[in-house]
Amino acid sequence: MTSADKFDRAALEQLVTKRFFYAPSFQIYGGVAGLYDFGPSGSALLNNIISLWRNHFVLEEEMLEVDTSIMTTYDVLKTSGHVDKFADFMCKDLKNGEIFRADHVIEAVLEARLQGDKEAKAAKAGKSAEEIAAEAAEAAAAKADKKKKKKKGTVVAVELADDVRQSYEECLAQIDNFSGEELAAIMKKFDIRSPESGNELSEPKEFNLMFESLIGPTGQLKGFLRPETAQGQFLNFKKLLEFNNDKMPFASAQVGRSFRNEISPRSGLLRVREFTMAEIEHYVDPENKDHPKFEDVKDVKLTLLPKSVQMSGKTDTVEMTIGDAVAQGVVDNQTLGYFIARIYLFLEKIGIKKDRLRFRQHMDNEMAHYACDCWDAEIHTSYGWIECVGCADRSAYDLTVHSKRTGEKLVVREQLPEPRTIECWQVEINKKTFGPKYKKEAKAVEEALMTLCDEKYAELAKNLEANGVGSVLVNGQDVEVGKDNVTIKRGTVTEHVREYTPNVIEPSFGIGRILYSLLEHSWWVREDDEARNVLSFPAVVAPFKCCLLPLSGNAAFEPFVRKYSRELRQAGVSLRTDDSKASIGRRYARNDELGIPFAITIDFETVENGTVTLRERDSTNQIRDSFENILKTLVNAA
């Protein structure tokens, strides 16, 4: 029913407002960018998605759900890396003070210039500007890395020299990968100005995206609103392992609000300052990432966009079962694969269209230095492909850094049946050359070298042997290490009790983004009636499952409304009674816009013989039957 090309975003936005799915917060005060309130329909949809998430993940796997503080102390987020690294670069219009994200403004300006180049060339070739714009839009939608709509630059048809065009394209391809200095250099080199006013912009300045506050009356204890729910889970690892009777593997989970003080939020629910996340931290033995239930999902077929394809500059996806993907090493391990498949099944269940869902692997330069593999579930919308769920192997990073900082052991201890000798990567620092070479950075470089995952050790060892040098990521920068500074080799150790820091596989869901994508995928217009929008949510997540409509305000209907609504509620069927004076037709249209799958109408025949009509939203088919039978139908429908 829904297809991307017929989609009319303005119509959906109008519906979203009219039926109060969501709206800007404090709208009567003028609103604030990036903050939204969910109305009754949006909030019910949100709650139903969360409830299904809980059933699908938490209850199914007996995950340990927690509910931790939003207000988080400086120390915790300093250790996790957020104080230093959770930042974007911003620049300011030097005349009117408008603020932009540096990478976004570069993209907007260069894309506009490339577009102007195309139009100028097309004009020469005799094509119309509209034809060209349509082609460009198509090309952009097909592009892999356009995840969000940025502010558009003004397009002026000016032809570019070939080398200039190429340097723009190269810059855009790496836009997520630049440091502040590099962004500044690019802005200078390409004379990037405000795409709105044409004014000059300030140099990019780092801006931490966490909301800051002070805890208590003395002003001495700095706190932040958490940027993710994960840290609260890691900090409770020891208690959770104990709660789980020290058994591994296990997972914790949390649903809750997180905050990012975005520089310049746009794109509705897709880039907001306050949002609901649902995160799972699955703790697994780093030596055995098999999953006991992998067998259950191995035949699930997925659309994958592996990093190897992207790195060759392409965006062709491959269809493959998760079983094959893991067997062929496309996906790193069974546990990661298991969750990717479970995420797919969840999104399908709530109503995301299969053909507009893909899993994109992060390229090496996109991943945090500690991550071994990461896949995003991307959903296609009118804004392009949107990252809605991340599924990363965070290795032992978080537990390791918190443990180091607090001195609290965050490990699993396993009595070995008999002592064993294991082979592992061993790192030897050459103290004599290390300190002098890295000076103040020595500690950070050493820490980075100590917490690599096996794949990275193997790569580094290979490079040291082959070239005498290799590199390691330290605070987001590649740092060179040479074989005179460090030796990396396989060695053996003997263990009696095995003590290890578990690795963490983290599926992390942005519920607001999923909800928005679902709205787009569920929206369509009845062919026979242009004005009639429908939202075809599956019953299981629809804001209300059933609408109860008395034919008119006639008093004879009242006892039936009361009786039936009580019985529907008791049977767990969520309900909206619409006894307004609008015609039945108008009320059906209203229900369609709210995505309510079923409507029960009470009329004079009901008063006579207890039968009602049941109308199904998508087909508009109606049947008449006793209320009791209709109730059974509804209960079975979800």
Residues between 11 and 30 that touch a copy of itself (CB under 8 A): 19-20, 23, 25-29
Q: Report in angstroms how near the CB of residue 183 gets to a copy of itself at its nearest.
A: 15
**Cα dist. 373→11, 34, 378 in Å?**
39, 30, 16
36 near a copy of itself (CB under 8 A)? yes
Q: Report in angstroms how near the CB of residue 355 gets to a copy of itself at its nearest.
A: 30
Token pair 């062929």 in the structure block, residue: 328
236 near a copy of itself (CB under 8 A)? yes
Q: CB nearer to a copy of itself: give 405 or 496.
A: 405
Q: CB nearer to a copy of itself: give 273 or 456.
A: 273
Q: CB nearer to a copy of itself: give 47 or 303.
A: 47
As a whole number of angstroms, the distance between CA 150 and CA 383 comes to 9
Q: Of the listed pieces 103-111, 243-251, 379-387, 424-432, which binds a copy of itself according to CB under 8 A?
A: 243-251
Token pair 């599926």 in the structure block, residue: 507
Contact flags string 384-423 toward a copy of itself, x per CB under 8 A: ------------------x--xx-x---------------
Copy the structure tokens of residue 587: 């009320």
424 near a copy of itself (CB under 8 A)? no
As a whole number of angstroms, the distance between CA 379 and CA 320 comes to 18
Site for a copy of itself in 468-507 (CB under 8 A): none
As a whole number of angstroms, the distance between CA 410 and CA 401 comes to 10
Size of the site for a copy of itself (CB under 8 A): 87
576 near a copy of itself (CB under 8 A)? yes
CA nearest neighbour of 246 among 398, 407, 411 = 411
Backbone angles phi, psi at 130, to 5 degrees: -65, -45
Q: CB nearer to a copy of itself: give 240 or 392.
A: 240
Backbone angles phi, psi at 615, to 5 degrees: -115, 135
Q: Report in angstroms how near the CB of residue 123 gets to a copy of itself at its nearest.
A: 40
Site for a copy of itself in 544-573 (CB under 8 A): 565, 569
269 near a copy of itself (CB under 8 A)? no
225 near a copy of itself (CB under 8 A)? yes
Q: CB nearer to a copy of itself: give 219 or 313.
A: 219
Among 52, 442, 575, 584, binds a copy of itself (CB under 8 A): 575
Q: CB nearer to a copy of itself: give 96 or 426.
A: 96
Characterise 207 by phi-psi region: left (phi > 0), alpha (psi -120 to 50), beta (else): beta
Q: Of the listed pieces 164-172, 249-257, 359-367, 428-436, which binds a copy of itself according to CB under 8 A?
A: 249-257
DSSP string, 318-341: EEEEHHHHHHTTSSS-HHHHHHHH
As a whole number of angstroms, the distance between CA 76 and CA 250 comes to 23
- The CA dihedral of 579, 583, 584, 590, to the nearest 10 degrees, is -80
Site for a copy of itself in 56-75 (CB under 8 A): 59-60, 62, 64-73, 75
CB 351 within 8 A of CB 538: yes
Q: CB nearer to a copy of itself: give 6 or 562.
A: 562
Give residue 579's Cα distance to chain centre.
Answer: 39
Query: Quick one: angle between helices 511-522 and 9-18, nearest 10?
Result: 110
Q: Report in angstroms how near the CB of residue 311 gets to a copy of itself at its nearest.
A: 34
- Residue 159's SS3 state is coil
Site for a copy of itself in 190-209 (CB under 8 A): 207
Q: Of the listed pieces 211-219, 347-355, 416-424, 488-496, which binds a copy of itself according to CB under 8 A?
A: 211-219
Site for a copy of itself in 70-99 (CB under 8 A): 70-73, 75-76, 90, 97, 99
DSSP string, 463-475: HHHHHSEEEEEET
Q: CB nearer to a copy of itself: give 244 or 382.
A: 244
- Residue 429's SS3 state is strand
216 near a copy of itself (CB under 8 A)? yes
624 near a copy of itself (CB under 8 A)? no
Q: CB nearer to a copy of itself: give 296 or 455.
A: 296
Q: Of the listed pieces 55-63, 329-337, 413-421, 521-529, which binds a copy of itself according to CB under 8 A?
A: 55-63
As a whole number of angstroms, the distance between CA 41 and CA 21 comes to 5
Q: Report in angstroms how near the CB of residue 567 gets to a copy of itself at its nearest.
A: 13
CA nearest neighbour of 380 among 426, 421, 347 = 347
CB 371 within 8 A of CB 452: no
What is the strand order of the sheet 318-321 is part of? 64-65, 250-259, 274-284, 503-510, 384-395, 373-381, 357-361, 301-305, 318-321
As a whole number of angstroms, the distance between CA 443 and CA 460 comes to 19
Q: Report in angstroms how near the CB of residue 75 gets to a copy of itself at its nearest.
A: 5
Sign of CA dihedral 218, 222, 228, 233: negative
Q: CB nearer to a copy of itself: give 491 or 553.
A: 553
